[in-house]
Structure 1
């Protein structure tokens, strides 16, 4: 096979199966073996979690780059362009490199299609992209790669790696059809990235999840660094947009740190990233420089996460795409926007918990909730029916006229929050950039 341009390359990637019926790593293990095990040719920090993975990666990338390191990142989904999913030092992979990688990886995938035809066939879309990332990073002479899990952990295609450090940011209800119906079952999948003797940084997770993680870590002699046990963070009164907080853990103390990423959950994400950085620094006998930590957190940005895109009136984009993220969003709205009217424009994928998410937002004081739709890659929730059964929720079929209509009725002190699916945020963000 030979793809001639970027459009053909994307067509090949997106044309692959999304999921297989049976969860397994065997297909991915055969894939990387056939490629010469590129995943073994550079050091890795492996990151999973229901929410907070992307922000944690962004913080950690800045902390490591501040040390002069060459850092690769693998994240999903993208906000502006597909290529964002594979970056080095914050610069996305080029269209030409995507074409080249498809031409390297594609023929191997087609061979596996034939070899595994009697089973479930060859690699999926995400396995193809993960293999491309491994090959790209293997020849890039990275100092470190930050690799984000797609879904779960145990059977995720990224879980063929042996990392320096594993990170579990959060555990909450999401992808229950794949990961199981309980916090413990979801945590079991997340804990699947823990490897023998490999340190693990754990964020703010519920007690049933922590129990599962502790058991897995104990079995594998993996040292744990746990939120509110081994490291602590305190949100401070902030003086500007974003968050101010203090941090203490692993023998280090920072009296005041600042990030422009707003929302109290970003303080926890930053704490996970700082702890991960400290574990890495201690592994490598690197000197911790307070000013460099402050600078790295201060310049971290992550599009579509409580991101202000207009000032008067204030318009914020935030990809609160599941129930746990909505819970965090509600806390931030109550803490930071008391006394201001908040218009919430939201579109949700059908496989989340749209009814519960909308109901929670509708109960907020001083808010107007407008449920809408967009052209999502997967089925979008039928919010019209939900709005019809809840007088506190308005419905607009198309988000574009809904956005214009809302802005026209806002005062300069009001706030418009656009939220829900990250795919929706990606679509809306192009309207402002």
Structure 2
């Protein structure tokens, strides 16, 4: 009988987070923990659960979570029991491993966690570098692989955590490899140029396995073409197969749902008119990539398309309403912030509103604050929790300095309010008629304010 190490779900992440966690520590300190030897040993110990269902592997700098969720939604609509493994979570750790967006029952999650710990307890193994303790991400990945097996999943969509080459997920042999846009990110570990980062991501390409790639910078595209050629893998680029015509976003008003409208035309004659709940050009591209993948695998139907249209994801222009529309978006790079701001402006046709913002340490905060200042006159700097280091005071001072230098003749109302409940209350109070609140800067910032909203309304966070 399996020993009962866990009796409550919250005990599971507490246990796993006690190991080396690359999500909230220095990359230089964590560098030596990125290995695949150990992950293969863990999977062997568990009976290689990752081989018990078909998989699609998704890597990239931006959009990989959304693309993964679109693919999973399409597979689920076909009647397949579909696991979805993603990171990070916005509010609840359960967001990381779902049945195409729906939480598993706590019972099977507890059983799986107890099984995992029982099999690994006392198990000693040494990888090539002499490390015999798994990392947090390796444990989460092992848990997801085992959970999907225990649940009887037929498909699983697996998002990489960081990079690709040495990512813990890179032990699967998928039905397809998917690569989303490459940006400069995590340069401490992945390299300081687009080609270096693209090279790391390209290593999810497996011999002979089809590869599907989103719009890319030329230098990233070249890397992917070369890797696919080396692996003898057929590669398809989104822009070579589909023409995308984005038409409009409906203007927001209470009781009317915004939709991202686009038309897709494939060179093989397939055509789709798509109306997405998830707003923005970025999401239009992510959905188009997901449609390309499923269409190419012979898994695209009207039901799949409908499921993709209605797909939503926490922290991706996620919408709530309390006196005013409130949008939660985890954008945290200059390009993603630009996209989020463009979508926000399109939805509200220049009416503006209030922005609650903070990014975690290590981000390009000077560029990010400059972009926010261009779009908002009222900005509230809050604190994105304590999972990762942040410095709200530095962000606040940067806003003040930039505002005085760049907008000396414009009134900019910049407020420091680290308490998320008070930050949300202030934003709603300062928001004028026909305006909205945008919460952005990190998934953790979105999560903090989302929880504050739930405390205010009494609703569940998910």
**2:390 paired with 1:380:** yes
Say whether the 8 Å CA contact 2:38–2:125 is kept in structure 1. Answer: no
- Runs ≥4 in structure 1, deviation > 6 angstroms? none
What is the match of residue 433 of structure 2?
412
Provide closer, same or farther for how the CA distance between residues 255 and 21 of structure 1 changes in structure 2, counting only shifts above 3 A.
closer
1:310 aligns to what SS in structure 2?
A: strand
Q: Deviations over 1:283-308 (max 9, x none)?
A: xxx5x53x324422222111221122
2:406 aligns with none
Where in structure 2 are the equivalents of 1:394-405 lying within 5 Å? 394-398=414-418, 399-405=420-426
1:17 aligns with 2:20: yes
Aligned counterparts of 1:311 and 1:100: Cα–Cα separation in 2: 39
Counterpart selection for 1:314 from 325, 331, 349: 325
Give 1:359 deviation, angstroms. Answer: 1.2
Work out whether residues 387 and 394 of structure 1, in 8 Å CA contact, stay in contact via their aligned partners in 2.
yes
CA contact (8 A) 1:188 1:212 kept: yes
Aligned equivalent of 1:5:
7
Q: Does 1:426 align with 2:428?
A: no
Alpha-carbon distance between aligned partners in 1 of 2:189 and 2:65, rounded to the nearest angstrom: 21
- State the alpha-carbon separation in 2 of the partners of residues 395 and 54 from structure 1: 32
Superposition pairs for residues 31-180 of structure 1, below 5 Å? 31-113=42-124, 115=126, 119-180=130-191
In the TM superposition, residue 13 of structure 1 has moved relative to its aligned partner by 1.0
- Say if 1:175 and 1:352, in contact at 8 Å, map to a contact too: no
Secondary structure in 2 aligned to 1:340? coil
> After the TM superposition, which residues 186-205 of structure 1 pair with which residues of structure 2 at under 5 Å, given as runs?
186-205=197-216
Distance 1:127 1:356 in 2: 33
Range with greater deviation from structure 2 (397-406 or 263-272) = 397-406
TM-score normalised over the length of structure 1:
0.92
Residues 333-371 of structure 1: CA deviation (Å, up to 9, x unaligned)? 44443431232111211122222111122123x543332
User: Which stretches in structure 1 are left out of the alignment for 5+ residues?
Assistant: none
Deviation of 1:413 after TM superposition, in Å, equals 1.1
Give SS of 2:421's match: helix
Q: Following superposition of structure 1 onto structure 2, how do residues 218-257 of structure 1 map, counting pairs within 5 Å?
A: 218-239=229-250, 241-249=258-266, 251-257=268-274
Post-superposition offset of 1:21: 3.0
In structure 1, distance between residues paired with 2:198 and 2:272: 32
- Report the CA distance shift for 1:367/1:242 in structure 2 as closer, same or farther (over 3 A): farther
Task: Quote the residue 1:276 is aligned against.
Answer: 293
Of stretches 35-44 and 251-260 in structure 1, the one that deviates more from structure 2 is 251-260
Q: Distance in 1 between matches of 2:289 and 2:80?
A: 19
Partner residue, 1:261: 278
**Pairs aligned (count):** 426
Bigger drift between 106-115 and 404-413 goes to 106-115
Is residue 200–residue 223 contact of structure 1 (8 Å, CA) maintained in 2? Answer: yes
**1:264 & 1:121 partners in 2: Cα distance?**
44
8 Å contact kept, 1:200–1:224: yes
Partner of 2:254: none
1:354 to 358, 362, 365: 365
Q: Using a 3 Å threshold, how does the CA distance of structure 1 residues 217 and 81 change in structure 2: closer, same or farther?
A: same
Normalising to structure 2: TM-score of the pair?
0.86
Q: Report the Cα distance in structure 1 between the residues aligned to 2:103 and 2:175, rounded to whole angstroms.
A: 24
Moved more, 73-82 or 250-259: 250-259
Larger CA deviation: 116-125 vs 78-87: 116-125
Deviation at 1:310, TM superposition (A): 0.9
How far 1:235 moved relative to its partner?
0.4
Listed as ranges, the gaps of 5+ residues in structure 2 are: 23-29, 251-256, 404-411
Q: 1:377 to 1:139 in 2, by over 3 A?
A: same
